[in-house]
Amino acid sequence: MPHIARQAFLHGAIAIMPLSLAVAPWGLLAGSMAIEANLSAWQGQGLSAIVFAGAAQLVAIGMLKGGANLASILLTTLLLTSQHLLYGLSMRPVLSSQPLRWRLGLGFLLTDEFFALTSQYDQQQFNRWYALGVGLTFYVAWNLFTLAGILLGQNIPHLDQLGLDFSIVATFVALIAPLVRNLSTVVCVAVSLFCSVLFSHWHWETALVAAGLLGMAAGFICQKFAGARP
Amino acid sequence: MTWILIFAMGAIVFLNRYAFLEPRLPLRLSSNARQFLGFAVPGMLTAICGPIIFMPDHQLNLSLLNPYLLGSLVAIALVLLTRSVLLSMLVSMLIFFFLRSWLA
Protein backbone atom coordinates (compact mmCIF):
# COMPACT_ATOMS: atom_id res chain seq x y z
CA MET A 1 0.00 0.00 0.00
CA PRO A 2 1.60 3.35 -0.99
CA HIS A 3 2.13 5.96 1.70
CA ILE A 4 -0.69 8.32 0.62
CA ALA A 5 -3.16 5.44 0.43
CA ARG A 6 -2.19 4.27 3.91
CA GLN A 7 -2.67 7.82 5.20
CA ALA A 8 -6.16 8.04 3.69
CA PHE A 9 -7.07 4.57 4.99
CA LEU A 10 -6.04 5.62 8.51
CA HIS A 11 -8.03 8.86 8.24
CA GLY A 12 -11.10 6.82 7.33
CA ALA A 13 -10.51 4.38 10.18
CA ILE A 14 -10.21 7.26 12.65
CA ALA A 15 -13.27 9.06 11.27
CA ILE A 16 -15.50 6.00 11.81
CA MET A 17 -14.07 5.22 15.27
CA PRO A 18 -16.82 6.99 17.30
CA LEU A 19 -19.55 5.26 15.30
CA SER A 20 -17.73 1.92 15.59
CA LEU A 21 -17.72 2.24 19.37
CA ALA A 22 -21.33 3.41 19.47
CA VAL A 23 -22.46 0.33 17.56
CA ALA A 24 -21.27 -1.85 20.48
CA PRO A 25 -24.65 -2.26 22.22
CA TRP A 26 -26.35 -2.99 18.90
CA GLY A 27 -23.70 -5.61 18.06
CA LEU A 28 -24.03 -7.19 21.52
CA LEU A 29 -27.75 -7.42 20.88
CA ALA A 30 -27.27 -9.08 17.46
CA GLY A 31 -24.92 -11.67 18.94
CA SER A 32 -26.89 -12.45 22.08
CA MET A 33 -30.26 -12.63 20.30
CA ALA A 34 -28.87 -15.14 17.82
CA ILE A 35 -27.91 -17.41 20.72
CA GLU A 36 -31.29 -16.92 22.37
CA ALA A 37 -33.01 -17.94 19.13
CA ASN A 38 -31.03 -21.21 19.28
CA LEU A 39 -28.65 -20.41 16.46
CA SER A 40 -25.16 -21.84 16.87
CA ALA A 41 -22.32 -19.46 17.70
CA TRP A 42 -20.98 -19.89 14.13
CA GLN A 43 -24.35 -19.03 12.65
CA GLY A 44 -24.66 -15.94 14.86
CA GLN A 45 -21.23 -14.80 13.75
CA GLY A 46 -21.99 -15.78 10.16
CA LEU A 47 -24.96 -13.41 10.08
CA SER A 48 -22.72 -10.49 10.99
CA ALA A 49 -19.88 -11.58 8.71
CA ILE A 50 -21.99 -12.38 5.63
CA VAL A 51 -25.15 -10.25 5.89
CA PHE A 52 -23.59 -7.26 7.73
CA ALA A 53 -26.88 -5.36 8.20
CA GLY A 54 -27.88 -4.86 11.84
CA ALA A 55 -31.59 -4.16 11.49
CA ALA A 56 -32.16 -7.00 9.01
CA GLN A 57 -30.23 -9.44 11.21
CA LEU A 58 -32.25 -8.59 14.31
CA VAL A 59 -35.56 -8.85 12.49
CA ALA A 60 -34.59 -12.14 10.82
CA ILE A 61 -33.59 -13.61 14.19
CA GLY A 62 -36.90 -12.49 15.68
CA MET A 63 -38.80 -14.08 12.79
CA LEU A 64 -36.83 -17.33 13.06
CA LYS A 65 -37.71 -17.47 16.73
CA GLY A 66 -41.38 -16.93 15.82
CA GLY A 67 -41.24 -19.81 13.34
CA ALA A 68 -41.48 -17.80 10.11
CA ASN A 69 -40.59 -19.56 6.83
CA LEU A 70 -37.58 -18.90 4.60
CA ALA A 71 -39.46 -16.97 1.91
CA SER A 72 -41.11 -14.51 4.30
CA ILE A 73 -37.81 -13.80 6.07
CA LEU A 74 -36.09 -13.17 2.73
CA LEU A 75 -38.87 -10.88 1.51
CA THR A 76 -38.69 -8.91 4.76
CA THR A 77 -34.92 -8.65 4.37
CA LEU A 78 -35.36 -7.32 0.85
CA LEU A 79 -37.83 -4.65 1.97
CA LEU A 80 -35.98 -3.73 5.17
CA THR A 81 -32.68 -3.20 3.40
CA SER A 82 -34.03 -1.44 0.34
CA GLN A 83 -32.64 1.89 1.58
CA HIS A 84 -29.30 0.53 0.39
CA LEU A 85 -30.55 0.84 -3.19
CA LEU A 86 -30.87 4.54 -2.50
CA TYR A 87 -27.39 4.74 -1.01
CA GLY A 88 -26.00 2.94 -4.06
CA LEU A 89 -27.83 5.33 -6.38
CA SER A 90 -26.53 8.30 -4.43
CA MET A 91 -22.93 7.04 -4.55
CA ARG A 92 -23.14 5.94 -8.19
CA PRO A 93 -21.31 9.05 -9.52
CA VAL A 94 -18.19 8.28 -7.44
CA LEU A 95 -18.28 4.48 -7.23
CA SER A 96 -19.48 3.27 -10.64
CA SER A 97 -16.23 4.45 -12.29
CA GLN A 98 -14.07 2.41 -9.89
CA PRO A 99 -12.55 -0.94 -10.94
CA LEU A 100 -14.67 -4.05 -10.31
CA ARG A 101 -12.91 -5.22 -7.17
CA TRP A 102 -13.34 -1.78 -5.55
CA ARG A 103 -17.00 -1.66 -6.52
CA LEU A 104 -17.61 -5.11 -5.06
CA GLY A 105 -15.64 -4.39 -1.89
CA LEU A 106 -17.03 -0.95 -1.13
CA GLY A 107 -20.49 -2.14 -2.24
CA PHE A 108 -20.36 -4.88 0.38
CA LEU A 109 -19.33 -2.32 3.03
CA LEU A 110 -22.07 0.19 2.13
CA THR A 111 -23.91 0.51 5.46
CA ASP A 112 -25.94 3.41 6.90
CA GLU A 113 -22.86 4.59 8.78
CA PHE A 114 -20.56 4.22 5.77
CA PHE A 115 -22.99 6.27 3.70
CA ALA A 116 -23.30 8.96 6.37
CA LEU A 117 -19.53 9.47 6.37
CA THR A 118 -18.60 9.14 2.69
CA SER A 119 -21.59 10.47 0.75
CA GLN A 120 -20.66 14.15 0.92
CA TYR A 121 -17.62 13.80 -1.38
CA ASP A 122 -17.76 14.51 -5.11
CA GLN A 123 -15.63 12.82 -7.79
CA GLN A 124 -12.58 15.01 -7.13
CA GLN A 125 -12.63 14.72 -3.34
CA PHE A 126 -13.60 11.07 -3.06
CA ASN A 127 -10.77 8.81 -1.91
CA ARG A 128 -11.41 5.07 -2.15
CA TRP A 129 -8.76 4.26 0.46
CA TYR A 130 -10.46 6.60 2.92
CA ALA A 131 -13.78 4.86 2.16
CA LEU A 132 -12.13 1.45 2.62
CA GLY A 133 -10.75 2.58 6.00
CA VAL A 134 -14.24 3.65 7.06
CA GLY A 135 -15.98 0.51 5.84
CA LEU A 136 -13.46 -2.09 6.93
CA THR A 137 -13.01 -0.64 10.43
CA PHE A 138 -16.75 -0.64 10.90
CA TYR A 139 -16.99 -4.22 9.62
CA VAL A 140 -14.34 -5.45 12.05
CA ALA A 141 -15.95 -3.57 14.97
CA TRP A 142 -19.41 -4.93 14.13
CA ASN A 143 -18.09 -8.50 14.04
CA LEU A 144 -16.09 -8.15 17.25
CA PHE A 145 -19.10 -6.78 19.13
CA THR A 146 -21.26 -9.56 17.71
CA LEU A 147 -18.70 -12.06 19.02
CA ALA A 148 -18.83 -10.38 22.44
CA GLY A 149 -22.64 -10.62 22.31
CA ILE A 150 -22.45 -14.32 21.47
CA LEU A 151 -20.11 -14.96 24.39
CA LEU A 152 -22.08 -12.77 26.82
CA GLY A 153 -25.46 -13.99 25.60
CA GLN A 154 -24.51 -17.51 26.63
CA ASN A 155 -23.97 -16.25 30.19
CA ILE A 156 -26.27 -13.24 30.68
CA PRO A 157 -29.92 -13.90 29.78
CA HIS A 158 -32.36 -11.20 28.62
CA LEU A 159 -29.70 -8.93 27.16
CA ASP A 160 -32.43 -7.92 24.70
CA GLN A 161 -34.49 -6.22 27.40
CA LEU A 162 -31.85 -3.68 28.39
CA GLY A 163 -32.76 -1.04 25.80
CA LEU A 164 -29.51 -1.54 23.88
CA ASP A 165 -31.29 -0.38 20.74
CA PHE A 166 -31.07 3.20 22.02
CA SER A 167 -27.43 3.21 20.88
CA ILE A 168 -28.53 3.34 17.24
CA VAL A 169 -30.79 6.31 18.01
CA ALA A 170 -28.03 8.15 19.88
CA THR A 171 -25.68 7.61 16.94
CA PHE A 172 -28.06 8.63 14.19
CA VAL A 173 -29.41 11.63 16.10
CA ALA A 174 -25.87 12.88 16.61
CA LEU A 175 -25.28 12.51 12.85
CA ILE A 176 -28.55 14.13 11.77
CA ALA A 177 -28.88 17.11 14.15
CA PRO A 178 -25.87 19.06 12.76
CA LEU A 179 -27.27 18.64 9.21
CA VAL A 180 -30.52 20.39 10.06
CA ARG A 181 -29.51 23.91 9.04
CA ASN A 182 -32.30 25.04 6.71
CA LEU A 183 -36.05 24.80 6.34
CA SER A 184 -36.00 22.08 3.68
CA THR A 185 -33.99 19.72 5.93
CA VAL A 186 -36.33 20.47 8.85
CA VAL A 187 -39.29 19.52 6.66
CA CYS A 188 -37.49 16.38 5.42
CA VAL A 189 -36.73 15.21 8.98
CA ALA A 190 -40.21 16.05 10.30
CA VAL A 191 -42.07 14.24 7.51
CA SER A 192 -39.77 11.24 7.69
CA LEU A 193 -40.13 10.98 11.48
CA PHE A 194 -43.90 11.27 11.45
CA CYS A 195 -44.38 8.82 8.58
CA SER A 196 -41.94 6.24 9.97
CA VAL A 197 -43.88 6.05 13.23
CA LEU A 198 -47.27 6.06 11.49
CA PHE A 199 -46.35 3.37 8.94
CA SER A 200 -44.69 1.20 11.60
CA HIS A 201 -47.82 1.53 13.69
CA TRP A 202 -49.73 0.23 10.65
CA HIS A 203 -47.27 -2.70 10.47
CA TRP A 204 -46.06 -1.88 6.94
CA GLU A 205 -43.05 -3.99 6.00
CA THR A 206 -41.85 -1.08 3.88
CA ALA A 207 -42.45 1.51 6.61
CA LEU A 208 -38.88 2.77 6.85
CA VAL A 209 -38.05 3.16 3.20
CA ALA A 210 -41.49 4.61 2.38
CA ALA A 211 -41.17 7.15 5.20
CA GLY A 212 -37.59 8.00 4.19
CA LEU A 213 -38.59 8.55 0.55
CA LEU A 214 -41.53 10.76 1.54
CA GLY A 215 -39.28 12.82 3.82
CA MET A 216 -36.71 13.21 1.06
CA ALA A 217 -39.42 14.22 -1.42
CA ALA A 218 -40.84 16.78 1.03
CA GLY A 219 -37.38 18.29 1.60
CA PHE A 220 -36.69 18.36 -2.14
CA ILE A 221 -40.00 20.05 -2.98
CA CYS A 222 -39.43 22.59 -0.21
CA GLN A 223 -35.97 23.36 -1.59
CA LYS A 224 -37.31 23.80 -5.14
CA PHE A 225 -40.07 26.06 -3.86
CA ALA A 226 -37.70 28.20 -1.82
CA GLY A 227 -35.25 28.33 -4.75
CA ALA A 228 -37.93 29.63 -7.10
CA ARG A 229 -38.62 32.61 -4.85
CA PRO A 230 -35.30 33.87 -3.46
CA MET B 1 -31.57 -24.48 6.56
CA THR B 2 -30.20 -21.70 8.76
CA TRP B 3 -27.04 -21.49 6.66
CA ILE B 4 -29.10 -21.28 3.47
CA LEU B 5 -31.02 -18.42 5.06
CA ILE B 6 -27.83 -16.63 6.07
CA PHE B 7 -26.28 -16.87 2.60
CA ALA B 8 -29.54 -15.91 0.87
CA MET B 9 -29.92 -12.87 3.15
CA GLY B 10 -26.31 -11.95 2.43
CA ALA B 11 -26.97 -12.16 -1.32
CA ILE B 12 -30.10 -10.00 -1.09
CA VAL B 13 -28.46 -7.29 1.01
CA PHE B 14 -25.40 -7.27 -1.25
CA LEU B 15 -27.53 -6.94 -4.39
CA ASN B 16 -29.39 -4.01 -2.83
CA ARG B 17 -26.07 -2.33 -2.08
CA TYR B 18 -24.35 -3.12 -5.37
CA ALA B 19 -27.16 -2.74 -7.93
CA PHE B 20 -26.69 0.95 -8.74
CA LEU B 21 -22.90 0.82 -8.52
CA GLU B 22 -22.83 -1.29 -11.70
CA PRO B 23 -21.64 0.96 -14.57
CA ARG B 24 -23.30 -1.21 -17.26
CA LEU B 25 -26.68 -0.24 -15.83
CA PRO B 26 -27.83 2.44 -18.31
CA LEU B 27 -28.69 5.30 -16.01
CA ARG B 28 -27.62 8.91 -15.66
CA LEU B 29 -28.65 11.02 -12.70
CA SER B 30 -30.20 14.40 -13.49
CA SER B 31 -29.44 17.38 -11.26
CA ASN B 32 -32.94 17.05 -9.76
CA ALA B 33 -32.24 13.42 -8.88
CA ARG B 34 -28.98 14.43 -7.23
CA GLN B 35 -30.69 17.16 -5.19
CA PHE B 36 -33.32 14.65 -4.10
CA LEU B 37 -30.66 12.13 -3.08
CA GLY B 38 -28.94 14.89 -1.10
CA PHE B 39 -31.70 14.39 1.46
CA ALA B 40 -30.92 10.67 1.83
CA VAL B 41 -28.85 10.95 5.02
CA PRO B 42 -31.34 12.98 7.13
CA GLY B 43 -34.39 11.31 5.54
CA MET B 44 -33.37 7.67 5.90
CA LEU B 45 -31.56 7.86 9.23
CA THR B 46 -34.55 9.68 10.76
CA ALA B 47 -36.91 7.00 9.45
CA ILE B 48 -34.78 4.31 11.10
CA CYS B 49 -34.87 6.15 14.45
CA GLY B 50 -38.60 7.02 14.48
CA PRO B 51 -40.05 3.62 15.39
CA ILE B 52 -37.26 2.84 17.88
CA ILE B 53 -38.01 6.08 19.76
CA PHE B 54 -41.80 6.14 19.62
CA MET B 55 -42.58 2.42 19.47
CA PRO B 56 -40.45 0.66 22.08
CA ASP B 57 -41.59 -2.98 22.39
CA HIS B 58 -43.73 -2.40 19.26
CA GLN B 59 -46.23 -0.33 21.28
CA LEU B 60 -46.90 3.30 20.41
CA ASN B 61 -45.53 5.46 23.24
CA LEU B 62 -46.10 9.21 22.81
CA SER B 63 -45.55 10.04 26.48
CA LEU B 64 -43.12 12.87 27.28
CA LEU B 65 -41.60 10.58 29.90
CA ASN B 66 -40.57 8.04 27.26
CA PRO B 67 -36.86 7.48 28.02
CA TYR B 68 -36.08 7.00 24.30
CA LEU B 69 -37.58 10.44 23.55
CA LEU B 70 -35.83 12.17 26.46
CA GLY B 71 -32.54 10.48 25.56
CA SER B 72 -32.86 11.66 21.95
CA LEU B 73 -33.57 15.26 23.03
CA VAL B 74 -30.47 15.15 25.24
CA ALA B 75 -28.42 13.83 22.30
CA ILE B 76 -29.69 16.64 20.01
CA ALA B 77 -28.93 19.33 22.59
CA LEU B 78 -25.46 17.94 23.30
CA VAL B 79 -24.36 17.57 19.70
CA LEU B 80 -25.56 21.08 18.83
CA LEU B 81 -23.81 22.57 21.87
CA THR B 82 -20.56 20.57 21.84
CA ARG B 83 -20.29 19.54 18.15
CA SER B 84 -18.81 16.28 19.42
CA VAL B 85 -20.57 13.19 18.06
CA LEU B 86 -18.79 10.81 20.42
CA LEU B 87 -19.42 12.85 23.59
CA SER B 88 -23.11 13.35 22.85
CA MET B 89 -23.59 9.66 22.07
CA LEU B 90 -21.90 8.51 25.26
CA VAL B 91 -23.59 11.02 27.58
CA SER B 92 -27.04 10.54 26.05
CA MET B 93 -26.68 6.75 26.38
CA LEU B 94 -25.74 7.11 30.05
CA ILE B 95 -28.70 9.41 30.67
CA PHE B 96 -30.97 7.04 28.75
CA PHE B 97 -30.01 4.03 30.87
CA PHE B 98 -30.41 6.10 34.03
CA LEU B 99 -33.86 7.38 32.97
CA ARG B 100 -34.91 3.92 31.89
CA SER B 101 -34.24 2.35 35.26
CA TRP B 102 -35.61 5.39 37.08
CA LEU B 103 -38.87 5.79 35.10
CA ALA B 104 -39.60 2.08 34.85
pLDDT digit string, tens, across residues A7-66: 999 999 999 999 999 889 889 989 988 998 889 999 999 999 999 998 889 888 888 887
What residue spans define the domains of chain B?
Answer: 1-42, 55-103
Interchain contact B104–A (C-beta under 8 A) = no
- Average pLDDT over chain A reads 90
Q: Please, is A65 exposed, middle or buried when counting C-beta atoms within 10 Å of its C-beta (0-12, 13-18, 19+)?
A: middle
With contacts defined as CB-CB under 8 Å, which chain B residues touch A163? 56, 67-68, 96-97, 100
Residue A183 Cα, gap to closest chain B Cα (Å): 12
Which residue from B minimizes the CA distance to A64?
B2
Tell me how far apart the alpha carbons of residues A29 and A25 are, in angstroms, rounded to a whole number.
6
| Residue-wise pLDDT tens digits, A65-97 | 877 788 888 988 887 788 899 899 999 999 999
How confident is the model at residue A93, as a pLDDT? Answer: 92
Q: How confident is the model at residue A230 (pLDDT cuts 50, 70, 90)?
A: very low
A179 CB neighbours in chain B (<8 A) are 41-42
Does the beta-carbon distance from A77 to B92 stay under 8 Å?
no
Quick check: A199 pLDDT over 90? yes
Closest by CA position to A11, among listed A120, A182, A132, A103: A132
Instruction: Tell me the average pLDDT across B5-27.
Output: 94
Minimum CA–CA partner of B42 in chain A? A176
Out of A73, A82, A92, whose CB is closest to B5?
A: A73
On the question of pLDDT at B104 being above 70, the answer is no
Tens-place pLDDT, residues A111-166? 999 999 999 898 889 999 999 999 999 999 999 999 999 998 878 777 777 788 88
**ipTM exceeding 0.90, yes/no:** no
Q: Please, which residues have CB within 8 angstroms of residue A178's CB and are 6 or more apart in sequence?
A: B79, B80, B83
